[in-house]
Amino acid sequence: MHTPHTESPPRPPEHRPVALSTGVLALCSALLLTLVGVEWRPLLELDADIARTTHRWAVEERGLTQTSRILTDWVWDPWTMRVLCGVAAALLAWRYAASWSALWLVLTVAVATVVQQGLKAALDRARPVWPDPVDSAHYAAFPSGHAMTATVVCGLLLWLLHRHGAGRVLWRTALAVAVLSVTGVGLTRVWLGVHWPTDVLGGWLLGALLVTAAVTVHRRRCPARR
């Protein structure tokens, strides 16, 4: 007996931008990883030029440097972001009875930590070294854990706010805070001389890639009601 062929249903239109973004981010992340891994000289020279300039400014502008240390060590520290994620997960589970979303949020941030530490160990890229450092950091350089964690946490929380129908004022405020945090933490890491610019760029790209991948998983598991 011949079984008629049934085509799979077309992908919902709202899924297509996410799929496209995931593909573009994956391509850009892979390209940057390759260039850093093979130590492509033009990229290293650009990194060094920017790092030398910003370090000179950091040494001269002590007040701004101290502010940057406070922001990066306390306000935008990865553990601060993880605590924020935990609070959001508890709110999802207890107030909105969204246990799966809470677990999804926590697991995604955990995966981001594993990915960044795995890449650091695999690439083992050295951090900048200065005769007059203004700050210090441990482990390998690429990707920036601060930049990647902030991107993942802020990106996921913004998407959850949008999905749960946040009001215009709350949404715009959250968006402004997220953009300031993700951009600011990346700039402070370069300013303080503990990361090359491409470490931060890698953290942003990989963080955004993980967010789009996680959103895809969530949408398939819990489609939005129409």
Tens of each residue's pLDDT in the chain, 226 residues: 444 444 444 455 556 777 888 999 999 999 999 999 999 999 999 999 999 999 999 999 999 999 999 999 999 999 999 999 999 999 999 988 889 999 999 999 999 999 999 999 999 999 999 999 999 998 999 999 999 999 999 999 999 999 988 899 999 999 999 999 999 999 999 999 999 999 999 999 999 999 999 999 999 887 765 4
Residue 38 DSSP class: T
Q: What is the reported pLDDT for 1?
A: 44
Q: What is the reported pLDDT for 91?
A: 93
Which residues are tagged catalytic? Answer: 146, 195
pLDDT (tens digit per residue) in 12-30? 555 677 788 899 999 999 9
Cα dihedral angle (129, 131, 137, 140), rounded to 10 degrees?
Answer: 10
CB atoms within 10 A of CB 136: 10
- Give this prediction's pTM: 0.91
Q: What is the reported pLDDT for 13?
A: 52
Report the C-alpha gap between 70 and 135 in whole angstroms. 11
Planar angle of CA 101, 161, 98, nearest 5 degrees: 25
